[in-house]
């Protein structure tokens, strides 16, 4: 009997010793691992991994960044998934920055006082956040309206910048829009943080003096670009270095010919590595004359044809019509004298397709064009890479001026056999080493600096040519002496937002970007959606599996453990 008790005590001491050793080993390993940051992303598309440019920006933060995310409270399940993705991304930002990035989730609809909520909504809208009105339905067939602000305010050194991260393409289902929103989270956030914390604020200039779009006509894009750049406007002079301090210049819808001296200044700016966003049209259409019912389309030369030809592009003097177009409102007389407005397709306003293979245009809404021309690529210089950014649909045609444009055209049913042109390029990205348009030419009288030596070849640079000046133009509203503007890309009749604003912003960010952040827009996540039919048909089965299987596994595991324990300690 004494021997049996001694064996039991020995077994107990052995078990206790093994337990204490295991606990000590776990504590020791945990203490060692606490000094290391070990994070493994086992997802196939690396959705939890930050890019090298992002880590570089975050590791260089000198002051704290505080982010207020207005995506909290009761909301539909897809937005809860978006909230979770935002939180996970912010956690990665916080770790990569050494706790320099902090955040808080706020509910803009919190509280029962309606006036306070409305005031809070207006404050967020005034700061630049875009609300979304969601209609949520329940299983009983009821529905409720809810306002959600899928965005954030980034605070740095007392400066607040809004970030709207919801992609809302009306041509895509909600699941794809939310997926694209998750894909763009890292870019949207790090682009803003990089701009706020950068020691260098790049300057961009709108060129004037050739009948370009006025300041009110580009007011919306100017305000949007001011988040990233310092914006100037001005005319060119005979100083060959007048543009040297600008990271990029914009030529927005000129009406008049460029003199050779201005062309030379632009050419030498490009030769030094300058970037240019060209928005040009070779056909003049006076849309204001359509108030009387018709207008005329005439060829308009800008004297830039030879210069762009040298760089590898040619804007054709022809107007594109497209079956996939914007609807306009036409006034019709009914019942003799009663006027009624009806929607009608306007083939001169194509809904342009953004390329999904380039970071500038990936996941963009369709872009609205007005009386657009189209572009040909020319030349065989292998040092210049050419990428189409915007194109028409598969059912387009071209009209060569002169010809008349009448509002009655909207009443005609199109014959699709006549729309036999497909995917006509409207926006073209050129990258590489460009030859000077003034090579082998006398240039002494084109500049005020007689000692200036022109370059015949550029350093590696890039430019974007768009065959439509109206893509950057916002609608202007004037009441008395008060002038205001509509958001760029907004249809003033339907309220639909096209991708014009985002397209122009992405163009400038890509041209100026020197740290690779724009490449984050090429990130692609796989959409893994559940089968809604199977969810409905197999609902009971999966409920039983999720409810009964865990306790059943626990019971079976306990029985197995008890069985082997008895066998071990009941041996003779």
Higher pLDDT, residue 528 or 128: 128
Are the CB atoms for 302 and 283 separated by under 8 Å? Answer: no
d(CA 459, CA 269): 11
Task: Pick from 171-185, 389-403, 434-448 the range whose average pLDDT is largest.
Answer: 389-403
d(CA 191, CA 436): 33
pLDDT in tens, 3-40: 566 777 777 777 788 888 888 888 888 877 766 555 65
| DSSP-derived secondary structure for 68-115 | EE---SS--HHHHHHHHHHHHHHHHHHHHTTS-EEEEE--TT-SS-HH
- The pLDDT of residue 209 is 93
Task: Pick from 83-97, 238-252, 530-544 the range whose average pLDDT is largest.
Answer: 238-252
**Is a pLDDT exceeding 90 seen at residue 348?**
yes
Lowest mean pLDDT segment, chosen from 39-43, 166-170, 439-443: 39-43
Q: What is the mean pLDDT of the chain?
A: 84
- The pLDDT of residue 544 is 82
**Is a pLDDT exceeding 70 seen at residue 524?**
no
**Which pair of structure tokens corresponds to residue 479?**
């009441």
**Which pair of structure tokens corresponds to residue 224?**
């949007």
d(CA 325, CA 498): 12
Please determine, looking at this structure, whether the domain spanning 202-498 carries the CATH number 1.20.140: no
- The pLDDT of residue 213 is 94
d(CA 10, CA 24): 21
| Domain-wise residue ranges, the chain | 52-195, 202-498, 530-572
322: which residues sit within 8 A by CB, 6+ positions away? 347, 350, 351, 392, 393, 395, 396, 419
User: Where does the pLDDT of residue 525 fall: very low under 50, low under 70, confident under 90, or very high at 90 and above?
Assistant: low
User: Where does the pLDDT of residue 522 fall: very low under 50, low under 70, confident under 90, or very high at 90 and above?
Assistant: low
**Is a pLDDT exceeding 70 seen at residue 265?**
yes
To the nearest 10°, report the CA torsion of 435, 441, 444, 446: -70
- The pLDDT of residue 45 is 52
d(CA 320, CA 373): 6
d(CA 279, CA 399): 20
**Is a pLDDT exceeding 70 seen at residue 140?**
no
552: phi then psi, degrees, rounded to nearest 5? -65, -40
- The pLDDT of residue 151 is 87
Share of the chain above pLDDT 90, in %: 37
Q: What is the mean pLDDT of residues 500-518?
A: 86
- The pLDDT of residue 138 is 52
Scanning the structure block, which residue is given the tokens 């409102």?
329
Q: What is the mean pLDDT of residues 260-284?
A: 95
| DSSP-derived secondary structure for 323-347 | SSEEEEEEEEEETTTEEEEEEEEEE
Scanning the structure block, which residue is given the tokens 């770790």?
95
**Of residues 476, 486, 468, the one with CA closest to residue 369:** 468
Lowest mean pLDDT segment, chosen from 125-139, 224-238, 342-356: 125-139
494: phi then psi, degrees, rounded to nearest 5? -100, -20
**Is a pLDDT exceeding 60 seen at residue 41?**
no
To the nearest 10°, report the CA torsion of 355, 361, 365, 366: -50
Are the CB atoms for 79 and 72 separated by under 8 Å? Answer: no
CA of 490: how far to CAs of 96, 350, 495, in Å? 38, 14, 6
pLDDT in tens, 422-433: 999 999 999 999
**Which pair of structure tokens corresponds to residue 240?**
């060959």
Are the CB atoms for 492 and 475 separated by under 8 Å? Answer: yes
CATH code of the domain made up of 52-195: 3.40.30
pLDDT in tens, 353-400: 999 888 899 888 899 999 999 999 998 888 999 999 999 999 999 999
pLDDT in tens, 57-110: 888 888 899 999 988 888 888 888 888 888 988 998 898 888 899 999 988 888
**Is a pLDDT exceeding 70 seen at residue 336?**
no
**Strand, coil or helix: 271:** helix
Are the CB atoms for 474 and 222 separated by under 8 Å? Answer: no
- The pLDDT of residue 554 is 86
Kindly tell me the burial class for residue 489, based on how many C-beta atoms sit within 10 Å of its own C-beta (0-12, 13-18, 19 or more). buried
Are the CB atoms for 436 and 310 separated by under 8 Å? Answer: yes
**Is a pLDDT exceeding 70 seen at residue 321?**
yes
Long-range CB pairs of 74-77 (<8 Å, 24+ gap) are: 74/146, 75/134, 75/136, 75/146, 75/148, 76/134, 76/136, 76/146
């Amino acid at each position: 009997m004494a021997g049996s008790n001694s064996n039991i005590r020995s077994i107990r001491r052995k078990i206790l010793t093994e337990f204490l050793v295991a606990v000590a080993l776990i504590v020791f390993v945990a203490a060692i691992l606490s000094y290391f940051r070990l994070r493994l992303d086992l997802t196939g598309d690396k959705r939890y991994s930050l890019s090298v440019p992002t880590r570089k920006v975050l590791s260089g933060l000198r002051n704290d960044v505080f982010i207020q995310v207005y995506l909290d409270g009761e909301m539909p399940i897809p937005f809860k998934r978006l909230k979770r993705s935002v939180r996970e991304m912010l956690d990665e930002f916080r770790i990569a920055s050494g706790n320099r990035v902090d955040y808080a989730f706020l509910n803009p609809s919190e509280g029962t006082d309606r006036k306070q909520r409305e005031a809070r909504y207006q404050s967020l809208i005034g700061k630049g956040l875009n609300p979304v009105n969601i209609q949520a339905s329940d299983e009983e067939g009821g529905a409720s309206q809810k306002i959600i602000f899928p965005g954030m305010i980034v605070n740095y050194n007392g400066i607040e910048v809004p970030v709207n991260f919801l992609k809302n393409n009306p041509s895509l289902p909600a699941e794809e829009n939310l997926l694209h929103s998750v894909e763009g989270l890292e870019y949207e956030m790090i682009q803003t943080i990089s701009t706020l914390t950068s020691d260098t604020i790049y300057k961009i200039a709108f060129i004037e003096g050739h009948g370009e779009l006025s300041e009110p006509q580009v007011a919306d894009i100017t305000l949007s670009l001011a988040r990233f750049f310092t914006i100037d406007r001005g005319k060119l002079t005979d100083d060959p270095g007048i543009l040297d301090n600008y990271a990029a210049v914009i030529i927005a819808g000129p009406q008049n010919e460029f003199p050779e001296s201005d062309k030379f200044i632009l050419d030498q700016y490009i030769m030094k590595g300058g970037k240019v966003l060209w928005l040009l049209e070779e056909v003049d259409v006076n849309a204001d004359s359509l108030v009387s019912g018709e207008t005329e389309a005439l060829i308009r030369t800008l004297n830039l044809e030879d210069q762009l030809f040298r760089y590898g592009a040619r804007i054709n003097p022809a107007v594109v019509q497209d079956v996939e177009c914007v609807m306009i409102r036409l006034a019709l007389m009914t019942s003799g004298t009663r006027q009624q407005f009806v929607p009608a397709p306007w083939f001169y306003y194509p809904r342009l397709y953004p390329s999904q293979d380039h970071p500038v245009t990936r996941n963009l809404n369709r872009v609205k064009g007005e009386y657009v021309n189209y572009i040909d690529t020319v030349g065989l210089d292998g040092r210049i890479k050419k990428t189409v950014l915007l194109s028409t649909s598969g059912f387009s045609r071209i009209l060569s001026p002169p010809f008349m444009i009448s509002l009655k055209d909207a009443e005609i049913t199109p014959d699709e056999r006549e729309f036999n042109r497909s995917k006509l390029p409207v926006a073209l990205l050129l990258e590489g080493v460009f030859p000077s348009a003034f090579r082998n030419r006398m240039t002494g009288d084109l500049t005020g600096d007689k000692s200036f030596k022109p370059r015949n070849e550029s350093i590696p640079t890039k430019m974007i040519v768009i065959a439509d000046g109206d893509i950057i133009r916002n609608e202007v509203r004037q009441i008395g002496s008060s002038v205001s503007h509509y958001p760029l890309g907004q249809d003033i009749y339907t309220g639909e937002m096209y991708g014009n604003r985002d397209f122009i912003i992405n163009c400038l960010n890509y041209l100026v970007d020197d740290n690779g952040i724009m490449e984050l827009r090429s990130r692609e996540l796989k959409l893994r959606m559940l089968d809604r039919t199977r969810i409905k048909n197999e609902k009971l089965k999966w409920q039983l599996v999720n409810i009964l299987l865990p306790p059943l596994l626990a019971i079976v595991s306990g029985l197995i453990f008890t069985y082997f324990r008895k066998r071990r300690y009941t041996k003779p």
